[in-house]
Amino acid sequence: MNISSRRTPDEPGPVACQAIFDSAVDFAIITADHEGRITAWNPGAERVLGWSAEEMIGQPTATFFTPEDRACDRPATEMRRAAETGRAADERWHLRKDGSRFWASGELMPLRARDGTDLGFLKILRDRTAATAEEGATQRSRDELQVVTDALPVLISFIDKDHVYRFANRHYEIWFGRLASEILDRPVREVVGEEVYAARLPYMTRALAGEDITFDAPMPYRGGTTRQSEIRYIPRRTASGTVDGFFVMVTDIAERQAAQADLQEAEDRLRLALEGAGTGIYDYDLVTGALTWDARTRALFGIAPDEPVSFEGTYLAGLHPEDRERADAAVQAAIRSQGAFHLEYRVIGRADGAERHLAANGMTVFRDGQAVRFVGTVHDITEARAAEAQGRRLAALVEQSSDFIGLAGLDGGAEFLNEAGRRLVGLATLEEARTYNLVDYFEPQDRSTVLEEVLPAVRESGFWEGDLCFRNFATGAAVPVHYTIFPVRDAHGGVSGYGTVTRDLTERRRQEAFRDALIAFGDRLQTCRDTAEMAAVGAEIMARTLGLDRAGYGTVDGTLEHVVIERDWTAPGVASIAGRHRFDDYGRVRAGLEQGREVIIRDVTTDPRTAADPGALIAVGARALINVPVMEHGRLVALFFLHDRQVRDWRTDKLAFIRDIAERTRAAIERFRAEASRRESEEQFRAFAQAMPNHVWAADAEGALYWFNEQVYAYSGARPGDLDGGAWAAIVHPGDVEPAGRAWAGALAAGADYETEFRIRRADGAYRWFLVRAEPIRSSDGAVVRWIGTNTDIEDRKCAAAQLERLNEGLEQQVEERTRDRDRMW
């Protein structure tokens, strides 16, 4: 039947839509006039609802609405809303021709001809009964989320990939002054307005691309105003990893920003005043135990700007041991009193080991009679004894410290540099060190910072510290350091030069690089689709972190003669060596691999294993190399290789990093393969179970049934999901439910095989006897992880046994009667 035969003669459908109309068999497409009488009915409508087009043309759309929806005039309400707003979307129960109900997702919209003539309405329905059952659990979670988020004083919502609000907490209603129904299922454009939507669109696009975004922006507020807000978009990913929308969290920061601005202004004025006086500030929260120091106080105690501080771990620990007990007692006494606090003590700088004399002043803040804060200032009073203390510090540093310790004149000329410092920058003698200016010790890119920031800061505040880079005069390499500089004073208190106690950060930076690489490696493994990609990622992380020219992964053949490299990572300008290679073509680079030992070569031209003929290795850019074996069941199956065109010093920590990445890669590949094997095994089980004529089912470790083969549903007439959990008892004979459940509980408690017999209802209502068995499936540690069970029909066997029993009883009766007859005869 074509479209025109399903429409009234005066409203023919466009011929171009015929194929779409007839082919949409999964959707019910229906048109109606303004009174709700059906004017078109496609094959999908007949399949979904059961009525044919001939039966429904001219009938009211209310025919397939439920009695309760007809009672509240739902069909007319939908048409009115569609006419007013352009669409009416809903999800509710509808009726089929056979009287059964199904859950449908539908949308009603006005139907207009190309010239704008109003033809009535177009309704599209889709059966979502099965999907709704699956969404039940999701709805419960959504309800719980609604309760939790409604209690929060922030705006929380979810926007799908079509830019439509699908969830919003109660604060949205308060914020916008609109009902939730005016926000939910509405496009963002309609809720926040066209201008704000245009401003948000770039951020929304980035969030839908998978980026977690936080930004500040004005947010429309009730009454036509706006509020400055902090807005965060958090992408939500499906099980397959695709982004299907993003969560929105909006926090009102207007009042906070104003308060912060006022507070910052006051703090800046106070800081400038105190910095001008060379005074530091401390604030000890007696309720939480949190200790706060400003930069000057940290500098006086030799604490880095970002290092955490505490009363015992930093303050008391930073005091001179001879002053520690006295200072602690004085602070505790001041906390208990309301008087002013004044104390002088010595501190030992944590970074530079310098001893300073400080004067501390403070007071305790009380609230409702309880001490809540202890605040005050500290001031350096070392000036009077600076020259003498400087000599003692310098002597101790020279004798004990492994840090870079130096002195320079006011003109910046180097005057002294300890032995550890000379080693750090590649200078052989003190005379050589004195030929350079203070600025010459730094990498070129840091020299402007020293001249324009560091030295002026020292002249102004008497101290500066931060991370910079020295240069090694011998090798030209940059050396990362934590640099501190302070003025050196003479016996009269005048500044005579500058001193520094600087710490080499090379090892810390190296360890940080290793740590960051391991984190990045773990993150990238999560996105790998196969084992080859995992191996490639591991090789790349090794090479990039260690600054090598090439790294890769190759599989070793059964003869242990060849290695096949599928792909490798190379630095720019370095050629790939992917392909098949024979070990012996490159010297004895295989030696020890079969026993699981690495091959580590610093220089192929001098190493005994390759020095005889290093040409092949030099030709592929492998002046230095490492081969790391991958063993399975004691056999060499693959290897990681790392190459560099320069001679390399393979340090112990670098080797440990390489081994760590190699082992993590091997373990990840093993887990990937195990998971793939498990999935394959489960798929094989399901295929086997579906092919069996018996009923097959599965339950979790607690005994809740979660899977049945098709034979169970075909026999019982149940639908998927009807028998899950403990609902299977609904098809068991009432007289058998209690003993069957008792036997099942006993098997679960003991972790033993389950076997019993009970009657199961067939789809036509008849009961048949079944032998029911189940066995526990255990993990490698012996714990039960699930149960697999079968139901075998024994009804015929039961009937045969009963018939045999009746025959036996009849035979015994006949024998007894004949015996009595014989006895009478005799």
* pLDDT for position 492: 84
Give the orientation angle of helix 506-525 with respect to helix 531-546, to 10 degrees: 170
96 and 160 part of one domain: no
State the average pLDDT over residues 786-796.
91
Domain boundary among 233, 252, 271: 252
Written as six digits, the tokens of 805 are 């029993």
229 and 276 part of one domain: no
CATH value at residue 314: 3.30.450.20
Residue 306 has pLDDT above 70, yes or no: yes
Q: Give the C-alpha separation, 502 to 817, whole Å.
A: 119
pTM > 0.95:
no
Task: Report whether 125 contacts 41 (CB < 8 A).
Answer: no
Residue 297 lies in domain: 257-381
What value, to the nearest 5°, has the Cα angle with vertex 443 and ends 437 and 445? 115
In a domain, 519, yes or no: yes
* pLDDT for position 89: 82
Q: 129 pLDDT band (50/70/90 cuts)?
A: confident
In a domain, 461, yes or no: yes
Q: 756 pLDDT band (50/70/90 cuts)?
A: very high
Strands, sheet with 562-570, edge to edge from the N-terminal-most edge strand: 579-582, 562-570, 550-556, 635-644, 624-632, 599-601
108 and 188 part of one domain: no
696 and 746 part of one domain: yes
222 and 368 part of one domain: no
48 CB neighbour count, 10 Å cutoff: 22
In a domain, 489, yes or no: yes
Q: Give the C-alpha separation, 211 to 234, whole Å.
A: 7
pLDDT in tens, 130-142: 766 666 555 665 6
7 and 122 part of one domain: yes
* pLDDT for position 633: 84
267 and 234 part of one domain: no
Residue 615 has pLDDT above 80, yes or no: yes
Residue 1 has pLDDT above 60, yes or no: no
In a domain, 803, yes or no: no
Largest CA distance in the chain: 152
Residue 691: φ, ψ to 5°:
-80, -15
In a domain, 813, yes or no: no
First CA to last CA distance, the chain: 92
156 and 118 part of one domain: no
Q: Give the C-alpha separation, 81 to 87, whole Å.
A: 7
91 and 207 part of one domain: no
In a domain, 375, yes or no: yes
* pLDDT for position 10: 47
144 and 110 part of one domain: no
In a domain, 490, yes or no: yes
State the average pLDDT over residues 91-112.
91
Percent of the chain with pLDDT over 70: 88
Higher local confidence (pLDDT), 114 or 102: 102
Q: Which of 35-39, 310-314, 755-759, 822-826 has the lowest mean pLDDT?
A: 822-826
Domain boundary among 675, 703, 729: 675
State the average pLDDT over residues 705-718.
92
Residue 68 has pLDDT above 60, yes or no: yes
State the average pLDDT over residues 436-462.
93
The total number of structural domains that make up the chain: 6
In a domain, 822, yes or no: no
State the average pLDDT over residues 576-585.
93
Task: Report whether 554 contacts 569 (CB < 8 A).
Answer: no
Written as six digits, the tokens of 517 are 């690489």
Domain boundary among 675, 700, 732: 675
480 and 538 part of one domain: no
591 and 486 part of one domain: no
Residue 369 has pLDDT above 90, yes or no: no
- Residues 85-115 as b/e (b if ≥16 CB within 10 A, e otherwise) read eeebeeeeebbeeeeeebbbbbbbbbbeeee
